[in-house]
Amino acid sequence: MHRSNADKGGTRPNQREFTVERSFNTVAVLGIGKVGELVADLLMRSGFSVVGYDSRPRADLGFAVKQLDVTDSHRLREALGTADAVLTCLPYQHNIAVAEAARQVGVHYFDLTEDIPTTNRVRDLAQDSTAIFAPQCGLAPGLIGIIGASMAAVFEEIRSIELKVGALPQNPTGLLGYAFNWSSLGVVNEYLNDCEVVRGGRRQMVPAMTAKERVVIGGVEFEAALTSGGLGTMCQTYEGRVQRLDYKTLRYPGHFKQMQFLFDELHLRDRRELADEILVNAKPPVNDDVVHLHAAVEGVREGTLQRLNDVRAFRPIEIGGRTWRAISWITSASAVSMVELAATGRLPNTGFIRQEDIALSDLVDTQAGSLITTHGTISCGKDLS
């Protein structure tokens, strides 16, 4: 890999420059919203040619954005046929159609989904494919699993892997202590869908918002509870190799009690769209967010029982003269890093890609990935990148 310190295209001075040969260059980005716009910008900063697609026309973004109805399968295939790869930032319910179109036209596929049925379908499409199918390239699943797996790799025997993420307001108010800076419907699904975990070495499904525990990070108290989707494919990967594996969402104390009141006592568990409408109206996005990552692995290392912790915090940063929320830039950087790894031959060139097979050191050794180490605050444990 060849690196240059020359300034280019408004890149932040403390962001590394990377010039590498790539196996593909043109990336279609579907869904130019909170994350899609930054994904496209980071791809261009990493040297890719980008074409954006959205349900409504957009202008003055520095790249072409074409109008596209992704439910029109013919037009979707036509759009993807002009690219080498597609990264979809659409709501999860549209991703299966995009993955099927990618398989039909033979382009590489990346997404940010936490939806388990979507990932299962993508895995099926990857069989005997001539292209890469890499779902779950965001934060959770995605970066948190890469961190956890990289930690686990230094153990001879693994007893437990505990992963936690919280995307939160820095200055919470009200009983919920929350703001919907991410897909509100996605959060509702995470709270209500059953969670896959490993217990006693075996995979099982358990209810969401259970197994609550107290967590303290930098003197600030949080609560954590099981939520669905954050582990991606890790339970299949680590079944039989680890006694305990789970993913929990971090919230300020009292949050889950309020959510259980909403879903159970107000009987909104089966009325998800109404619950979504109520919640996003009550707790709209904030600009001063923070993303906490907490990974812990226990096991035998160098012949002794040890526990490693990796605890990080990410806050809003400026990219290209604009301040981006923490949840937006960390998700975008993780996804674009995966595209960089694929294009530079550091991933298998065909088939299904599991996030836990990616080394954290490789992920952060990309232009987009360098943001993760440059702007993340490591508050506990050794940086394994």
Q: What are the pLDDT digits (tens) for 277-286? A: 999 999 999 9
Give percent of the chain above pLDDT 70.
Answer: 92
61: pLDDT strictly greater than 90: no
- Between residues 11 and 206, the one the model is more confident about: 206
Burial of 141 (0-12, 13-18, 19+ CB in 10 A): buried
CATH number belonging to the domain at 2-139+327-379, selected among 3.40.50.720, 3.20.20.70, 3.30.70.1350, 2.40.110.10: 3.40.50.720
pLDDT of residue 14: 38
Give yes or no for a contact between 231 and 141, defined as CB atoms under 8 angstroms apart: yes
Residue 21 binned pLDDT confidence (cut-offs 50, 70, 90): low
Give percent of the chain above pLDDT 90.
Answer: 83
**DSSP letters for 25-76:** -EEEEE--STTHHHHHHHHHHTT-EEEEEESS---SSSSEEEE--TT-HHHH
In this structure, the strands spanning 108-111 and 220-226 are unpaired
Q: Torsion angle of alpha carbons 12, 15, 20, 22, nearest 10°?
A: -70
Residue 16 binned pLDDT confidence (cut-offs 50, 70, 90): very low
121: pLDDT strictly greater than 90: yes
Q: Is 176 helix (H, G, I), strand (E, B) or coil?
A: coil
pLDDT of residue 201: 97
The mean pLDDT of 357-377, rounded to a whole number, is 93
6: pLDDT strictly greater than 50: no
92: pLDDT strictly greater than 90: no
The mean pLDDT of 10-39, rounded to a whole number, is 72
pLDDT of residue 307: 97
- Whose CA is closest to 43, among 69, 62, 57, 60? 62
Residue 10 binned pLDDT confidence (cut-offs 50, 70, 90): very low
CATH number belonging to the domain at 143-326, selected among 3.40.50.150, 3.30.420.40, 1.10.3720.10, 3.30.360.10: 3.30.360.10
Helix, strand, coil percentages, rounded to 5, for the chain: 30, 30, 40
Residue 231 binned pLDDT confidence (cut-offs 50, 70, 90): very high
Domain boundary assignment for the chain: 2-139+327-379, 143-326
Distance between CA atoms of 354 and 148, rounded to whole angstroms?
A: 13
Q: Is 376 helix (H, G, I), strand (E, B) or coil?
A: strand
Residue 384 binned pLDDT confidence (cut-offs 50, 70, 90): low
Least confidently predicted of 33-37, 181-185, 376-380: 376-380
pLDDT of residue 254: 97
pLDDT of residue 62: 84
5: pLDDT strictly greater than 50: no
The mean pLDDT of 189-211, rounded to a whole number, is 96
Write the pLDDT tens digit of every residue in 284-297: 999 999 999 999 99
pLDDT of residue 378: 66
pLDDT of residue 68: 95
